[in-house]
Amino acid sequence: MGLDCDRQFHFVKADLQREGITALFLPQMPNAPQALPGTIGSGRLLELHHGEGAQDGGYVGATGALLRAAGARVGDRVEVRRADGSAGDAGVLMPHHEFSGEDIVVLKLENGYNIGVAIGPSDSVAVLARAVPRAPPVREVPHRKGLPDIAIVGTGGTIASYVDYRTGAVHPALTAEELAFSVPGLADRYNLRAEALLSVHSEDLWPHHWAQIARAVAAHLGGGASGVVVPHGTDTLGYTAAALAFMLPELSGPVVLVGSQRSSDRPSSDAVENLEEACAVATSDLGEVVVAMHAGTSDGAVAVHRGTRVRKMHTSARYAFQSVNAEPIGRVTAGTVSWQGAHRPRASRTTLDDRFDDRVGVLYVYPGFDPELVHLAARRWRGIVVAGTGLGHMASHAFVAVKEAVKAGVVVVMTSQCLNGSTNMNVYTNGRDLLRTGVVPMGDMLPETALAKLACLLGRTEDPEEARRMMLEDLAGEVGPRRPLGGGFP
């Protein structure tokens, strides 16, 4: 990644111990790690891992000279004192932000947020507390008799992330063991099996990762785990949930995907509650793939969504995940799961079918849609999911291209951009003409669910007709004749 250990730092914050210790971590990199713990105002311990020679934090010019004169190093608790005697700002000295001016000092406040403080030519800096080098604590996941076994299969994402203080960006970092200790007391209620399977952003996942996760889940359930929790990035969590539902048609325990909309260094983080309640779901009598995420703006309840019916409907809100064309099947409050809809109980065994064909894709219809996109897709893909307008329409000038693709053996299915409601291609001439080209309507199935399903089915058959027939079957609760009143809007 081209990191310069003298100037660039990567930190991650997570609650590791029920005693309330807060820590910042550095992933493996040259000349690392040392630990610099320092007590901050709340009395909690802050640990900063960085490479040797990194104490200057990248500060240059007059500000760098001022910090060096004060003997201030990254990890120290410092105070900026104003020349006019007014109250200054105090916090833990963080590395300089590359987008900030040379006169800006970055401090981490007691509430977890970072601020940039401008230092004037007559201001001064005082060191309030030193960061004393110390080796990072080593924690092992305990095993206690009589407690349910839960496997945590880490894949990355914001729920297991660290903050790059050069840019403010979030990067995957936590091991599964660290994640297991991120919720105070969690290891006292469950025997946690931790596996750091992946450490990637969810937008960087491929279908072969879905299969990899499915195999890990099946192995843990086959090895005696009561349930499996899969921490996952939220951006493509819905895709993975749907794919796992099709790859794991029978489950001897729950598979609970969980994420967080706010990273662990933010006071508004939803990571702890989501993970805690996901573990409660993982010990319930459930034999499905589900998603457990905040039910509302505030803490207090986590919704349980069927994996084939859930979608991220907001970029940043904690209640971003909603069941579409269905209601959540459950709700978790303070560790108690209340079922609100029909759900499958645990099966006697777990079955795995991880075959897939990644030669599938989604075409989004829009005014002026170019039929050449269909031709290009048909040359590369075996399956096309169309996100059509309204009841399942697309521009009539693309019909010839669609018909040629179907004739060449490409499976073309139709979903709706509206999300809520169902396709009905018998209402208008446009839809009826599309049906005659061989397009298969997907009813109220989500486009991402249709994509995952089509990839799995094409991995199981070379026959386009068989794939078309199976796309119409309800395999994992992904399609149905009934929808909530009001279209499922929150």
Question: Angle at the Cα of 55 (from 54 to 59), degrees rounded to 5?
Answer: 95
Euclidean distance between CA atoms 253 and 278, whole angstroms: 13
Beta strands in 184-295 (DSSP E): 191-196, 227-231, 255-258, 289-294
Residue 194 three-state SS = strand
Tell me which residues are annotated as active site.
158, 234-235, 312
Which of helix, strand or coil describes residue 214? helix
The burial class, CB within 10 Å (0-12 / 13-18 / 19+), for 200 is: middle
Residue where the block lists tokens 């598979």: 255
Ramachandran angles phi, psi of 407, nearest 5° = -65, -30
| Rounded CA separation 242/240 (Å) | 5
Strands (E), 417-454: 440-441
Give the residue ranges of DSSP H helices in 53-163. Answer: 61-70
**Short-list 194, 193, 192, 190, CA closest to 146:** 190
Question: Three-state SS string across 347-400, please?
Answer: CCCCECCCCCCCCEEEEECCCCCCCHHHHHHHHHCCEEEEEEECCCECCHHHHH
Q: How many CB atoms lie within 10 A of CB 87?
A: 9
Name residue, tokens 């179907």.
406
